Structure 1
Amino acid sequence: MDLLAWLRDADPALRWQVERDLAGEPAGVWEATRARVATEGFGARLLARQDPDGRWAGGAFFPAGFRGDEPQPWTATTWSLNALREWGLDAAVLDGTAGLLARSCRWEYDDLPYWDGEADCCINAWTLANGVWLGADVTGIAEWFVAHQLPDGGWNCEWVDGSTRSSVHSTLNSLKGLLAHEKATGGTSASRAARQAGEEYLLERRLFRRRSTGEPIAPWVREFGYPFRWRYDVLNAASYFRDADRPDERMAEAIALIREARQPDGTWLQRRTDAGRVWFAVDVPAGQPSKWLTLFATRVLAWWDAR
């Protein structure tokens, strides 16, 4: 099939990235499509769900009323901001939201102020990225990552329970937050060093192997699914290194896994989906060709092959 035509026939949140990264369209074309994220499709639908006080679903990480007797919901403020930022929404559309959240939104953990972050590495990483996007002062969170990096170079959300060994999930999400901060502000010498050490943590493991035995970490490293949310897999990790523009030969095996997952028609299949409440579906059920995963995988391979 005509893969580009199939990918272009998509929500503006996805289409503008296809136009820019795969089709090589002039900036005026993909920028016009990107602007439509605020007024059409996924972006417009999610913006319409924002509460007057700046939050979504009345909560920071969990929706108001969440009692823990259901799978993790994906509707609260942090998840909604993550989606809008990743879809390319112009931050100006959310002008005033940073201030609203500073006044009205507090973490479910210890009732801490929203832009101060909390104790979870992944949550702090998303808050760091969302904060620099919206213009909030999140300097303290960037410093938090430097102070909470573990001796092996990564991070683990379970550090609060005494863990001293890093997690690939926590490390990748932490790296994404630090990269967003660095791109927006330049970072500091300490935050740049922390990010580089975190990259080494993943590269030393070839993105998917245990350092101790060389065996794959787990089957889920090959189970690609969109939205990525907090989950680690080699496509998610390789996409980070593409965004950071850091090709490294130690990624070669992981790139091969991504290439092997390509279907004969050039698509990648959705391999997993997360349970839990959503505002609306943004990708296909498991087992079907995913336009989002096909976008991510195709541009990772193009970047790698063009080194």
Structure 2
Amino acid sequence: MPPLESAAMTSEAPIEWLRDSDPALRWQVERDVLHEPAEVWEATRARVAAEGWGKQLLAQQDSDGQWAGGAFFPADYDFDGPEAEGDGMPWTATTWTLNSLREWGLNPAVLRERCTADLLAENSRWEYENLPYWSGEVDCCINAWTLANGAWLGVDVTGLIDWFLEHRLPDGGWNCDWVEGSTRSSFHSTLNSLKGLLANDTATGGTDTTREARQAGSEYLLQRNLWRRLSTGERVGPWVDRFAYPFRWTYSALNAADHFREAALFDGVKPDSRMSEAIEMIRAARQPDGTWLQAGRQPGRVWFETDAPPGAPSKWLTLIGTRVLDWWDNA
């Protein structure tokens, strides 16, 4: 592989370095950065199930349809042990694994052939009050991922859609702390909820009510320019410009901008000008060689690593940052 300084550049990204990747990442480079014909990136995407990271995750599936024996936590997770006390939560259980496979572009037919949705309906229960898997629980982020994964696998997720409509807060967004009485939305919870609703709309076409909910939640973030407190105009948190992959549940300007890009392409609208400051924040983080650096991943058990260590150039962040800036600059 050529050094980054001499790599061929398109849209200021080191293309050959990006292309030399697992199919889960490479097909997105071909589609979103190189704008290759559909037959090119679709052929690469089809390889996700047969090789690399996708194949490795599929091999870890349990006979009952789950991963690591649990819905959100592995079966052997000790809620009173070191992990729970600060060593980082594990990222190996069913929900996190489904999130990765979906985001990597796995064809859902692969999991349908395994009867995964039915097996989870029969065998998987949330650690919260033993609730059935596809019904969700009380956490906005967990329910958003369940909505997205259910729509992807063809599950009837009408109940979860209704849940999001009922639990939207007066300011337009969502907050996982609603169960503690919170009436103000959270950047993290709102973005994850929007992602779940968009995934459902993408899979099903959506409805007027889901589109209206997405619009209201989007307004919550856009009114704050994706990074400011509405009351003071100050930075909402130190995590706003801390770019790390995988995103998991954490908000950042890059995570939000990539969602707004995807939503705009789906809805057929132009970028909202209120994102301009966040876009410049993303642009400022790009290195002279066209890459973005890994800020530091959340600690915890993983099946295997899929990106660079802290401080090193990240292929995932470079893909995402490049496609966000290309979308914004070419709008």
Alignment of 1:147-186 (within 5 A): 147-186=166-205
> Which residue does the alignment assign to 1:272?
296
> Which residue does the alignment assign to 1:283?
307
**What 5-or-longer segments of structure 1 have no aligned partner?**
none
Taking the aligned partners of 1:26 and 1:193, their CA distance within structure 2 comes to 33
Letter aligned with residue 125 of structure 1: A
The structural deviation recorded for 1:218 is 1.6
Q: Does 1:97 align with 2:116?
A: yes
The structural deviation recorded for 1:145 is 0.3
Taking the aligned partners of 1:224 and 1:46, their CA distance within structure 2 comes to 24
Letter aligned with residue 99 of structure 1: D
Determine helix, strand or coil for the equivalent of 2:240: helix
> Which residue does the alignment assign to 2:31?
20
Taking the aligned partners of 2:316 and 2:192, their CA distance within structure 1 comes to 19
When the two structures are aligned, how many residues end up with a matched partner?
307
Taking the aligned partners of 2:39 and 2:273, their CA distance within structure 1 comes to 35
Taking the aligned partners of 1:189 and 1:36, their CA distance within structure 2 comes to 36
Q: Does 1:297 align with 2:308?
A: no
Taking the aligned partners of 1:189 and 1:298, their CA distance within structure 2 comes to 32
Aligned partner (choices 258, 282, 286) of residue 262 of structure 1: 286
> Which residue does the alignment assign to 2:149?
130
**1:21-45 per-position Cα deviation (integer Å, ceiling 9, x unaligned):** 1112111111111111001110000
CA contact (8 A) 1:132 1:138 kept: yes
Aligned partner (choices 28, 46, 60) of residue 49 of structure 1: 60
- Percent identity, please: 69
> Which residue does the alignment assign to 2:256?
237
Aligned partner (choices 78, 89, 111) of residue 72 of structure 1: 89
Taking the aligned partners of 1:267 and 1:249, their CA distance within structure 2 comes to 25
Taking the aligned partners of 2:312 and 2:188, their CA distance within structure 1 comes to 25
Letter aligned with residue 296 of structure 2: R
Structure 1 runs of 4+ off > 6 angstroms?
none
The structural deviation recorded for 1:194 is 1.1
**1:72-117 per-position Cα deviation (integer Å, ceiling 9, x unaligned):** 1000000000000000000001011101101010111111110001
Q: Does 1:11 align with 2:22?
A: yes
CA contact (8 A) 1:143 1:191 kept: no
Q: Does 1:306 align with 2:330?
A: yes
Taking the aligned partners of 2:55 and 2:204, their CA distance within structure 1 comes to 28
TM-score, reference length from structure 1: 0.99
Aligned partner (choices 81, 104, 128) of residue 87 of structure 1: 104
The structural deviation recorded for 1:189 is 2.1
CA contact (8 A) 1:269 1:289 kept: yes
The structural deviation recorded for 1:7 is 0.1
The structural deviation recorded for 1:186 is 2.4
> Which residue does the alignment assign to 1:107?
126
TM-score, reference length from structure 2: 0.92
**1:126-180 per-position Cα deviation (integer Å, ceiling 9, x unaligned):** 0000001001111100110000000111100011111111110000000000011
Alignment of 1:26-37 (within 5 A): 26-37=37-48
**What 5-or-longer segments of structure 2 have no aligned partner?**
1-5, 8-13
Letter aligned with residue 152 of structure 2: W
Taking the aligned partners of 1:108 and 1:209, their CA distance within structure 2 comes to 34
The structural deviation recorded for 1:234 is 0.1
**1:183-214 per-position Cα deviation (integer Å, ceiling 9, x unaligned):** 12222322221110000000000000000000
